[in-house]
Amino acid sequence: MTDREAVIRVTEAGFYCPAGDFYVDPWRKVARAVITHAHSDHARPGCGAYLCPVEGRAVLAARVGGGAVIDTLPYGERKRIGDAVVSLHPAGHILGSAQVRVETAAGVWVVSGDYNNSTSTPACAAFEPVRCDVFITESTFGLPLYRWPRPEVVFAEIHRWWAANREEGLTSVLPAYPLGKSQRLLAGLDGEVGPIAVHGNVKTFLPLYEAAGIRLAPTVLLTEKTAPEIRGKGLVIMSSAAREAGILRKLGPVSHGFASGWMQTRAARRSRDGDRGFVMSDHADWPGLLAAVEATGARRIGVTHGELESFTRYLSERGYDAFAAPTRFTGEGSDGGE
């Protein structure tokens, strides 16, 4: 297939659809952007107009600015843009995340964005496979060693760690990206273990999830006033950037955990400045990536965001027409959505 025949082209500004004259997740300012989700490596401010799922509008506005022109589309509904027909389908990554299906006279392509079909969460709509001719897949954890445990197992580990810390008079601290991972945690944490506080930008997105009808564990905002009720017994979720915030000194001795897919490996657990690692990701693991590719029915697979070379080579060896589709953001999520 020549570049002229491609439904989606990789350009200096991002994935471009010539038939519809729009970009998917552009990393430069463009006239029209279709957005898979509101993490900063996929949604950039300054575009003329945006299109996203209905469920993702509020979080996208928080990312790119409330004054941006944001059109929405219900999951599964089709919209004609120029000579292309676009529809958005759940990706299972964060609230309002989507795969972008693009149909033109040249065929059907799907740009997956980031997705998680490996573990479920009540914090967003579950991944739905989409049949297509060409599938562009992320590959953040595109190595065989990445295989996620069941969420209930991970949350049981977190609860045991938290309860043990409470017995020793330690405050438990879990750094987490404010959009996505924080809500995935809060959707599964048991507030009966102790009080839960949030700090930093985490608080920005909680009302948006709650407005979408997603039930999260009750929290308080960590301040000097609320610190005494958290000290020695509570759990604090804060952005990684705020981890050394002065407010932590109000909490007494603390135990730091870390919830991420990278915690699958011992080397990664040692490299993190924390006491415990928990394997929890907003992305697909190795079996999930393979299952997603197979479910599309596509024989041509573009690989982006992560283990481009190794995953492309593996798919080629299995008989797929696989190609690397590098973007400006090459991997694990520039803003921590791992």
Identity at 188, one-letter amino acid code: G
pLDDT score, position 200: 84
Torsion sign, CA atoms 186, 188, 192, 194: negative
* Structural domains of the chain in order of their starting residue, each with its CATH number: 3-146+282-324 (3.60.15.10), 151-278 (3.40.50)
Band the pLDDT of 334: cuts 50, 70, 90: very low
pTM for the predicted model, two decimal places: 0.93
CA-closest candidate to residue 113, choices 23, 18, 214 = 23
CA-closest candidate to residue 186, choices 194, 177, 196 = 196
pLDDT score, position 239: 83
Say how far apart CA 278 and CA 237 lie, in whole Å.
14
pLDDT in tens, 146-164: 999 999 999 999 999 999 9
pLDDT score, position 335: 43
Q: Are 198 and 222 in contact (CB under 8 A)?
A: yes
On average, the pLDDT of the chain sits at: 92
pLDDT in tens, 283-308: 999 999 999 999 999 999 999 989 99
